[in-house]
Amino acid sequence: MRVVGLTGSIATGKSTCSATLSSPPYSLPLIDADLLARKAVEPGTWGYRRIVATFGPTTPDLLLPASDAQSGGNENGPDGKGRPLNRPALGRRVFGNSEERVRDRKKLNAIVHPAVRFYMARAMLYYYLLGHWAVVVDVPLLFESGLDIFCTTVIVVAVSDPKIQMQRLRDRDPHLSAEDAENRVKSQVDVREKATRCEDRNNGKKNAGKGYVLYNDGSKEDLKLQIAEVVQDIKSKSPRWWTWVLLLCPPLTAAVASWEVLRNWYLRRKTIKERGEELAKTRL
């Protein structure tokens, strides 16, 4: 089973791409890291308790206020497990490039990422046992979190002009101020940098099929045409008989997966060495 890592930056069109891949005619299973991250911090979970303990004392509006609509009048939430997190308030706390915000973002990631990885691994095993030829793993911070080494193929949805990204973000989330929008964009690795990393996975081989960059500067239809070409190319490198061989021979699957991870780890380290310490700071 091919693990297709899908990433990009905020407002570049990644959600459109994931929705297209998970719908007919492709109908690929989709593992959405954002949804899993929400699940990992629901009231009553270990992640929720850690976030409240870490950020609650210094973030007065960290939790949504108790109300009849949100918590049935119960200060501890509708199910007694706690009031939901105020995500905009938490976002203001961790998004940005100041030393304090970077530090807080690392704390938040250290809480959320382990739980998300567990949920992702469980979902991938489920789809493997069902015999799917590929699964799409939608992870906004694929390279930053190091999860790219577990992907057979990576697709990056990018834009060539940063102004397009900023305008799309303001159009999508009109409640964001210009400063908030800029902080959200700057809190992630530049999408053009992600595109370069994706192409580096091919190790100079044009048809290696390890990394694809979709430049979403035009319409949705233009993006869908690029998606169709990429899926066709990926599928040509994944014959159905190979999927069944891997399903029926778990030791071979483990060996192939280990080789892929080792290869991706090596290429990642090679890129860091060739492009310097600045790249390493972003946790390539």
Q: Residue 69 has what pLDDT?
A: 44
pLDDT tens-digit readout, 262-276: 999 988 888 777 766
Adjacent-strand bridge partners of 32: 138
Going from the C-alpha of 135 to that of each of 143, 160, 231, the distances in angstroms are: 18, 27, 12
What tokens does 11 get? Answer: 């407002």
Q: Residue 7 has what pLDDT?
A: 95
What tokens does 209 get? Answer: 């099929």
SS3 4: strand
Least confident span in 57-71, 140-154, 155-169, 235-249: 57-71
Q: Residue 267 has what pLDDT?
A: 84
CA dist., res. 230 & res. 26, Å (int)? 12
pLDDT tens-digit readout, 85-140: 998 889 888 887 788 888 998 899 899 989 899 999 999 999 999 989 999 999 98
SS3 163: helix
Cα 146-151-156 angle, rounded to 5 deg = 80
CA dist., res. 85 & res. 42, Å (int)? 8
Least confident span in 71-80, 216-225, 262-271: 71-80
What tokens does 1 get? Answer: 């089973």
Q: pTM value? A: 0.81
Indicate if the alpha-carbon torsion angle 188, 190, 195, 197 is positive or negative: negative
pLDDT grade, residue 165 (50/70/90)? Answer: confident
SS3 176: coil
At which residue do the structure tokens 């290869």 appear? 263
DSSP string, 145-162: TTGGGG-SEEEEEE-S-H
Q: Show the DSSP H helices in 44-190 as ranges.
A: 46-55, 68-71, 87-94, 99-129, 162-172, 178-186
pLDDT at 284 over 50: no
Which phi and psi angles does 30 have, rounded to 5°? -120, 125
Q: Residue 14 has what pLDDT?
A: 93
Q: What is the mean pLDDT of the chain?
A: 86
Domain ranges of the chain: 2-281
pLDDT at 51 over 70: yes
| The architecture CATH gives domain 2-281 | 3-Layer(aba) Sandwich (3.40)
CB-count exposure of residue 23 (10 Å: 0-12, 13-18, 19+): exposed
Least confident span in 52-61, 167-176, 178-187: 178-187
DSSP string, 33-48: HHHHHHHHTSTTSHHH
